Every structure is written in C-alpha cells, then in structure tokens.
Amino acid sequence: MEFNVKKLASDAGVFFSRAMQFTEEKLGQAEKTELDAHFENLLARADCTKNWTEKILRQTEVLLQPNPSARVEEFLYEKLDRKVPSRVTNGELLAQYMTEAANDFGPGTPYGKTLIKVGETQRRLGAAEREFIRSASINFLTPLRNFLEGDWRTISKERRILQNRRLDLDACKARLKKAKAAEAKAAAEHELRLTQTEFDRQAEVTRLLLEGISSTHVNHLRCLHEFVESQTNYYAQCYQFMLDLQKQLGSSKGEMFSGTFVGNADSASPAAATSPPSVAAATLPAVPTIPVVPTIVGVPNTVAEGVLNPNEVKPPASGTRRARVLYDYEAADSTELALLADEMITVYSLPGMDPDWLIGERGNQKGKVPVTYLELLS
C-alpha cells in the first residue's frame, strides 16, 4: 500500500510538472524543444494521410450504401462482431416487383413478356451491384479501416508519449537553470541526461512509425487500383446487360406494334397506341404503306431464309420510300443496318419479307431495319 501511495504521488508530481511546462510554453514563459524539420514534415504528412483516409473511407461507404440507416446498422453489427444480414439490392427488389406484375397481367401478353425481360435484367444488375459492393469492401474499405484502427492508433499513442517526454525534458532544463547549489545542479544534470535519453529513444520510435506512412501509401495505391478494376468490371457488366436488353426489346417491338406502319393501325392494341412509335405513326401521311412485292416463283427468298447479301439485293422498280429514323438502333448482326436518330435513309420491301422489317439503304450500305424505328415520308 505504501508503494502505491508513493507511485501515485510521483505520477501526480509528473503530471503537474508537465502541465506547468505546457502552460508556460503557451504563455511564452518557457523554452520549447523543437523537432527537426524532417520530423515535422513526417508529422504533417501523417496527419494529412489520416484526414484524407477518413474522408475517402466515409464517402466510399456512402457510394456503396447510400442509405444512412443501413450504414449505421452495418457499423453496429461490425462493432458487435456479428455477421451483417443479407440485404436485397434495389435492382433485385425491382426485379421481384416486375416479375409479380407480369404474372398478374399475364406472362403471355406483350406487356407481361417485356416486364419479365426487364425484370430479369434488373435482377442481374442487382446481383452485379452486390458483387461490386462485396469486392470493394474487401479490397478497398477494409485496408483503409485497418490503417485508421491499427497503424494510426499506434502512431497516435507513440506521439502522445513523445509529447510527454518532450515536456519532461524541457521541465528538466528549466529546473537546471533555476538550480543554484552545486548539489542541486548535479542532480538536475543527471536527471536531464536520463530524460534526454528517453526523449531521443522515443523520438526514434516515433520517427520509424511515421516513415512507415510511405508503405501505407503504397498499400493504399494497390487497393485503389483494385477498387477501380472492380468498378470497371461492374459498369461493364451493367452496360452489357442493358445492351442485351435493348436488343431484346428492339427485336420484340415488331410484335408489340405490328402493322403500325403497314396499314394495321386499326387493329393496334391500346398499349401500342400510347407508345412512341405509334405517336410517330400518327404524324405520317394519309397513305403511309410501302407495297410488299409479291413472292415470285423461282426467285430465291434470301430474307426469309435469314441471310441477306447486300450485293445481291436490288431495290424494286417502284415502291421505294424515304424515311426518317426516330431512334438510334444498333444492328444485331451483319444482315441489319445500324441507325442514327434523325438521319434519312431509303427503304423498300422484298418478296416474302416480314412486314415488321424493311430493307434500308444509306449510300453503299444496306441491311434490314425495323419499321417501328422509322417515320415513312411521302
């Protein structure tokens, strides 16, 4: 018990001495041991690294999980060392709603079929998003957190110890200056040498930790490359999924709006009547149709066979029309002609050709084009 009381009194004395030294330094009444310029630069670089790592970490978390309550929930589960429950992504939830709606409306109807196609793509987008979040969390967020919760805490602890050692050193210097008797000066000099040794040792430990920030930057650079790679793969997947969906919807528009441009407007469904192609059809001249050339015996039906050779296709003597393209269209294969919105092309039909498609010509280029993407001109 006596030992504890003495230690407590000693600790209180050290604390009081440090507080006095710190206060006098702030008031300009005591000298302060300055660290060398290189050491100060290391401290500034470490502080900068810590501050920006915190900001990047927080904003990346917002990017991966925009919902604040969900982020708080994940944080609490991590602190409790429990597994975060699986959460359905927004894309997967939208896919579920679309699929259920298609079942109610009828999966065989044009609207139901489209809902199923779009819903499946949304499901794939949601799954890709889930994988991106998982990869980014492991390869990017976790190393940043490990630095802040591990290396930075160690650096902060050693810096506090160094600060205390410096205050002790400066307090010893002040006591040596105030000492008058030879015995007091000798005791103060001895204490100063011990304190200087402890300060130098702690300064070296802190310096080594601060110089390790360079290795931290290298590690974070590697993690940043992995994050960008994950994000690139994610967006590439999303683009491909949407491109595939666009092609599916483009090829099915002929079924949904069949006859809109070839004289079947009276039999169009209510859904087709409100679609962009139908609105465009309402602006066409009174006689918008292109005559379909009847099948001639002995003429090879290349279009019906699904093979189109532009060099063999010859426009009919009559029945060609000018058309304005309403929407961009990407050719699905070499038999189709890619379209750009607002461009003008020449179109006509061939024997036995699907009424939902025409042959389009742009200069020396030829290929099949969907009629729903065109506004036929007189």
**For the purposes of burial, counting CB atoms within 10 Å of the CB of 64, is it exposed (0-12), middle (13-18) or buried (19 or more)?**
middle
Whether residue 120 is predicted with pLDDT greater than 60 in this model: the reply is yes
Mean of pLDDT values over 34-43: 92
DSSP output for 15-83? HHHHHHHHHHHHTT-S--PPPPHHHHHHHHHHHHHHHHHHHHHHHHHHHH---HHHHHHHHHHHHTT-P
* CA distance linking residue 91 with residue 361, whole number of Å: 40
Name which of 6-10, 52-56, 100-104, 216-220 the model is least confident about: 6-10
Mean of pLDDT values over 113-123: 94
Give 232's pLDDT tier (boundaries 50, 70, 90): very high
Give 19's pLDDT tier (boundaries 50, 70, 90): confident
The conformation of residue 230, written as its DSSP 8-state character, comes to: H
The predicted structure's pLDDT at residue 304: 41
Total Cβ atoms within 10 A of residue 123: 20
| Whether the predicted model's global pTM rises above the 0.85 cut | no
- 170-183 confidence digits (pLDDT tens): 988 888 888 888 88
* CA distance linking residue 330 with residue 54, whole number of Å: 44
Give 5's pLDDT tier (boundaries 50, 70, 90): low
Whether residue 2 is predicted with pLDDT greater than 60 in this model: the reply is no
Mean of pLDDT values over 174-194: 88
- The per-residue pLDDT of the chain, averaged, comes to 80
Give 23's pLDDT tier (boundaries 50, 70, 90): confident
Whether residue 145 is predicted with pLDDT greater than 90 in this model: the reply is yes
DSSP output for 304-340? TTT---TTT----SS--EEEEE-S-B--SSTTB--B-
* CA distance linking residue 157 with residue 365, whole number of Å: 73
Distance of CA 257 to the CA centre of its chain: 37
Q: 3-state SS of 274-289? A: CCHHHHHHHCCCCCCC
* CA distance linking residue 136 with residue 61, whole number of Å: 10
Strand bridging mode 321-325 / 374-376: antiparallel
